[in-house]
Amino acid sequence: MTQPTERRPSAGAEDPTIRRSWFIFAGTFFALGLISVLRLFGPGARPLDAAITALIVIVGFAAVRNRLAVQELEQSRRAEAESFARILQGLSRSISPDAIVGAIVEELGAGTGADHVVIVRRRPDARVLEAMLVNARTGGSTSSTLFPITDLEDPPDADADREPVAVPVAVDVDAVAMAAAGPAGDILGGRPRLVTLGEPAGLSPHRSGRRAPDLPPAPELLPGPTRSSDAEAAVAERIARRARSVFGLRHTLVAPLTTDGGQIGALLISRRTAGEWPASAQRILVGSAVEASAALSRAYSHRQAEARATTDALTGLPNRGYFDEFCTLLARRRRAEDSVGVLMVDIDRFKRLNDSHGHQVGDEVLRAVAGAIAGAVREDDVPARYGGEEFAVLLRNPTLEVAVDVGERVRQAVADLDLSRLGVAAVSVSVGAAVASDADEPIDSVIEQADRALYLAKRRGRDQVVA
């Protein structure tokens, strides 16, 4: 037996109680108007009847105007709620910072009537701010640039001594590596504040001889509850000025992106037409900034946890688990023309070093050797700490000669380490190299061959590369 489904009102449906009340109200006015008209044009009409009729017409007209205004307000509030609900729905499905940015800008332009949406956020993998402009009128075409980190980190009162510089740096948004280094936690510290910016200022000469847009004068801040939020609003204003100078925006409204770890950027909307932003646009922007801050904080925390799980805490290199997982993924995606090589690297006589100098010095040596290995391998190669004093390097598309050459560079880089500050004269490594003979050879087999070559290097006297 099927259960009866509950009927829900449509998005444009009006509450039945309000509709019935309006019908009663309108019917009563119609009756009063009809009676007054009959008295006005009937026998014995008096001047007072004309005044009463006029008052009824005026009150009826005011009631109709009020009815239309209430309907318009309800539709505006309903559209605002639906727009914010779509933003929340998009955020709930987003787990990466780029997906979060997409979920925000996709709906924010339509919900606020903005021509452009700009999100400026700290890049976790570098001390810069990444600014992405989305054109809401052209279906989401984007433009990207980098801002100096000082726009975020300098105190608000530093603006008086700062010379504005707006130098766009083109970057590929899809190529930005979102490494996990963002602040942890997803509880927002305080409510974002809005700052309204006026018309762009003129041009002023720059020290380099080029002319850069001058920053507009300080705008009037909307009132805020705390001093900390005043500082956040001032920093957001500074970021907005930079965005306007670089992207050529007008009539900008901005809210800070803030987490427990501090301010991480700002969210901006702009339009070409002058005039005050509607209250609904301000509410949507503030709500979007709150939710975007929390979502970005969760994403950064998730990436940070993933990085901790796949990174060796002592050396900073990927750990054995990451190396094995990477090899598994690479094996699935290998093409017939792809070749794979492996270097197995072991520090010579490391146990003797630990026994004579102590484990603290041994840890410092491990860090130094890890840095030497990471600096000696090629850009596409993947070094990892395999366990204890042993390291592994996955080589992408090498020949056996290339594998031996990279192994020799690793051996030489370690031999060149200056460890005198630790009381260690010198450190050497033995390296075993192997390359897959064909694309069907399992990577585990290549690792085993490189391991055998490593032990052969040990038996031959250490401090050498054997393939």
Quick one: three-class SS letters along 386-410? EECCEEEEEEECCCHHHHHHHHHHH
Report the top-level CATH class of 320-466: alpha beta
- Report the chain's mean pLDDT, rounded to a whole number: 75
The average pLDDT across 157-182 equals: 44
- The mean per-residue pLDDT over the stretch 415-430 comes to 93
Cβ 254 vs Cβ 220: under 8 Å: no
Tell me the mean pLDDT in the region 255-276. 87
- CATH fold for domain 97-200+211-307: Beta-Lactamase (3.30.450)
Domain boundaries, the chain: 17-82, 97-200+211-307, 320-466
Residue 242 and residue 239: Cα distance in Å, rounded? 5
3-state SS, residue 277: coil
SS3 170: coil
How far apart CA 256 and CA 120 sit, in angstroms, is 9
The whole-number average pLDDT for the span 408-420 is 95
pLDDT higher than threshold 70 for residue 302: no
* d(C-alpha 84, C-alpha 194), whole Å: 17
Q: Tokens standing for 16?
A: 């039945």
The answer, yes or no, to whether residue 285 has pLDDT greater than 60, is yes
Beta bridge partners of 128: 148
State phi, psi for 337 to the nearest 5 degrees.
-90, -5
> pTM of the prediction?
0.47
Q: Which residue has the higher pLDDT, 126 or 12?
A: 126
Q: How far apart are CA 344 and CA 443, in angstroms?
A: 13
Instruction: Find the range with the poorest average confidence among 304-308, 421-425, 454-458, 459-463.
Output: 304-308
97 neighbors 119 (Cβ within 8 angstroms): no
Average pLDDT, stretch 203-230? Answer: 40
The predicted-structure confidence for 111-134, as pLDDT tens digits, reads as follows: 788 888 898 988 776 788 989 888
Percent of the chain residues past pLDDT 90, beyond the cut: 30
Distance between CA atoms of 198 and 191, rounded to whole angstroms? 23
The span from the CA of 122 to the CA of 131, in Å, is 9
The region of weakest confidence among 96-110, 234-248, 325-339, 408-422 is: 96-110
Highest averaged pLDDT of the listed ranges 38-42, 93-97, 353-357: 353-357
Please report which helix (H) or strand (E) contains residue 332, including its range: helix 320-333
Q: What is the mean pLDDT of residues 295-319?
A: 78
Percent of the chain, pLDDT > 70?
69
Q: 41 has which bridge partners? A: none
Please determine whether the domains at 97-200+211-307 and 320-466 fall in the same fold group of CATH.
no
For the record, the structure tokens of 383 come out as 């070094």
| Amino acid letter, 48 | L
Higher pLDDT, 175 or 132: 132
Taking phi over 0 as left and psi of -120 to 50 as alpha, with beta for the rest, 236 belongs to alpha
* Residue 377 token pair: 């391998």
